[in-house]
Structures are given as structure tokens and as C-alpha cells.
Amino acid sequence: MSQMQTYRPTANHVRIIGRTHWMGEVLWLALSGGGVEFSFYGRAARITLQGDDIAATGNNLARIGISVNGIRVIDDQVDQPRKTYTVFESDTEQEVTIRITKLSEAAMSTVGIGEIAVEAAEGIRPTPRQLHTVEFIGDSITCGYGVDDEEALHAFSTATEDVTKAYAYLTAEQLGADYSMVCYSGYGIITGYTENDQKLTTHLLPDYYEKVGKSEGRFGGSLLPQEVPWEFSRFTPELIVINLGTNDDSYTKEDPVKQADYAENYVAFLQKVTQNNPHSTILCTLGIMGDRLYPYLEQAVDRYSRETGDSRISVMKFEVQREEDGYAVDFHPSQVTHRKAADRLTAEIRRLMKW
């Protein structure tokens, strides 16, 4: 029997997925879908995760999934400062690939990957990078809000949120693409989701696009992700898919002045995105939970193209979700709707990018 050897989740040992932050020997995850993947040939593996300051509260804890050879073996909410999981044990040596994914969104809580211990003579190695790279920018739909609870009248909980069942993750999987997600439930371009006709300006995605994340949960109990600038050189997407406007529509409704405000600020956001990603193609989408703002999205893209001469930008309308496909929490898309949306988006990306 060889001994367990311990590794840190650094780039020479693991493939890092999504926006992360290295601090205090721990790789911290905020955003949906962030994580790591690695392989080894051996008999056992244990993963130690670190909770943030939310972990002890019991309220909207970070949900994580750990899969072994594509099968999820751990699905848990991190409720302790440190938690160790035995994820693989075997009498014989085997080729094993392990993936750790943050399933819940950034806003409520964060989680850190501390140690990876394996019984493997050759140690661990990063899995190979995928052929393509995509960044998804979105709201609750992209986060997989409530997707594990198909009762429309139930309330939000990170326990029922799973990004791997949402259209963006499914699309990346179908394309064989490395992804990065920047998504926050209730966020928009000019307002967050509102029920009182007042703008909710604390929930604007453009304000946090250049950060590692935005959360109530502090990395190591001390550092807010929104205090950390994101280094765009760490992930250069060939394609950026934007799906924002569902929450803006709660404010703009049928008011053409407010709708024009959305279009104008959307143009400004496109400029911010392209400044940080000068070589990326952009695909702007909308419609899963309603398509009323879609003409204004088209206007924004048209105006941006005319003003900048940038032709690597296009639009795509999703089909609006249908009652017979069911709803998740708060009338969010069901798993059926997400799969249909993923098929639609995958086909469009293949056409657009010639992948």
C-alpha cells in the first residue's frame, strides 16, 4: 500500500474551471460552475473543502457536487469550516477523473478547495483543456435557479440550484467547451428584479463583471469576492454568450422610454465586455422567461455594431418556456426547458462559430 499524498489545487495539479481566487493555500470559488478537474491512477481520493463565513449560519449555504468518472458521488451543502469527503476507494488501482463543481450561485455563499489527498504512485494531473472556450453572462436562468424543485410556488434556496442542469452548462458540454459563468439571480443591465416599479440598482451585472465574483460569503471569512479584480488574461473566451434582460423587463414593462434606457445601457455593457475581451465573438440572447425586451436587445446590438464597426456580434431569440414543459421554483425554467434551450443555443453556436 502506498501512502496518501496531499496536493493543493494549483494549475500544475488540476484544471481550473471558471473564475477562482487563490488565498491562504485554498482555491476559492464564488460563481456558479467554478471548480477543478484532475486525474490519477490509484486506489483512493479524499477532498477537503473550506467553508466561508456563511457556512455556520445554515442559510443558503454553498452547494457543491463532486463527480468520479462522470458520476456525482457527493452532493452537499458546506456547513462547516472544514469538511473532508472520501470520494473514491478501491482495492485495485484504477484510472480516475474527479471533478469538483460549485453548483449554487455566487451571491449567497462561497466555498474553498483546500487539500486533495490521493493514494496514487504518480500523483495527480490536470485533465486536458477542451478545444473551445465560452463565457456565459446571465441571471437566474444561467444559474439553474430552483431547477431541482419543480414546484413553481416554492421559494428560492441554494439547495435546489444546480448549474449543471441549466442551459449554459449543458451547451458547453454539448460543444465540448471550457466555460466560465458570470451569473447572478435577479440581476440585470439597468435594474435588478423589482416588484415596485423602482429601479433596483444594487443588482446590476455590469457593476460586477470585472470582479472575481459578488457575494455575501467571504473567502476565508475575510475577503469579499467583489473586492478582487478579475484578470481577464486568465480565461480568453472565443465566444461570449449574454442572456440579460429578464429582470430588466420587471421594471421596463411596456414603457418605451424605460425600454430604450435598457438598450442604451446594453450598448455600454457591450463596450465593457469587448474592452476586456477584444478577440471574442459575442452572441446576445433573450426570451426563455419572456421576450418582450428582445426588439430592444436587437436595437442595442445593431447600434453597437454601427458605432464600433464590430461585426463579430449577433443575436438569438430563445423560445419562451411552455407550461406543458413544467416550471421550477418561482416559475423558472424546468429541466425540460433548459435542455430545449441548450439544444437551440448549441445549434446556433455551431452555425455561428463553425464548430
Per-residue pLDDT, averaged over 245-268, amounts to 98
For residue 213, give the C-alpha cell: 465574483
pTM of the complete model: 0.98
State how far the Cα of 152 lies from the Cα of 135, in Å rounded to an integer: 29
Provide the greatest CA pair distance for the chain.
71
Is 114:100 a contact under the CB 8 Å cutoff? no
pLDDT one-digit tens code per residue, 144-193 = 999 999 999 999 999 999 999 999 999 999 999 999 999 999 999 999 99
Per-residue pLDDT, averaged over 29-50, amounts to 98
Question: Within a 13 Å sphere around the CA of 39, how many CA atoms are in the beta-carbon half?
Answer: 11
Per-residue pLDDT, averaged over 47-54, amounts to 97
pLDDT for the residue numbered 293: 98
State how far the Cα of 321 lies from the Cα of 149, in Å rounded to an integer: 16
Is 208:273 a contact under the CB 8 Å cutoff? no
Question: Within a 13 Å sphere around the CA of 55, how many CA atoms are in the beta-carbon half?
Answer: 21
CA-wise closest residue to 77 among 45, 109, 46: 109
pLDDT one-digit tens code per residue, 275-289 = 999 999 999 999 999
For residue 244, give the C-alpha cell: 440579460
State how far the Cα of 213 lies from the Cα of 29, in Å rounded to an integer: 9
pLDDT for the residue numbered 116: 98
Is the pLDDT assigned to residue 2 strictly greater than 70? no
Question: Given strand 177-183, what is the order of strands in its sheet?
Answer: 177-183, 132-138, 239-243, 281-286, 313-317
Cβ burial of 68 (10 Å; 0-12, 13-18, 19+) is: middle
pLDDT one-digit tens code per residue, 56-95 = 999 999 999 999 999 999 999 999 999 999 999 999 999 9
State how far the Cα of 115 lies from the Cα of 110, in Å rounded to an integer: 17
Is the pLDDT assigned to residue 1 strictly greater than 90? no
Is the pLDDT assigned to residue 198 strictly greater than 70? yes
Rounded to the nearest 10 degrees, how much is the dihedral formed by the CA atoms of 4, 8, 10, 16?
Answer: 80
Percent of the chain clearing pLDDT 70 (strictly above): 99
Q: What angle do CA 175, 179, 183 make, to 5 degrees?
A: 120
To the nearest whole number, what is the mean pLDDT of the chain? 97
pLDDT for the residue numbered 343: 98
Q: CA 93: distance to chain centroid?
A: 34
Q: What is the DSSP string of 231-273?
A: -GGG---SEEEEE--TTTHHHHTT-HHHHHHHHHHHHHHHHHH
Per-residue pLDDT, averaged over 40-47, amounts to 98
pLDDT one-digit tens code per residue, 92-134 = 999 999 999 999 999 999 999 999 999 999 999 999 999 999 9
Per-residue pLDDT band for 268 (boundaries 50, 70, 90) equals: very high
pLDDT for the residue numbered 257: 98
Rounded to the nearest 10 degrees, how much is the dihedral formed by the CA atoms of 145, 147, 151, 157?
Answer: -50
SS3 label, residue 340: helix
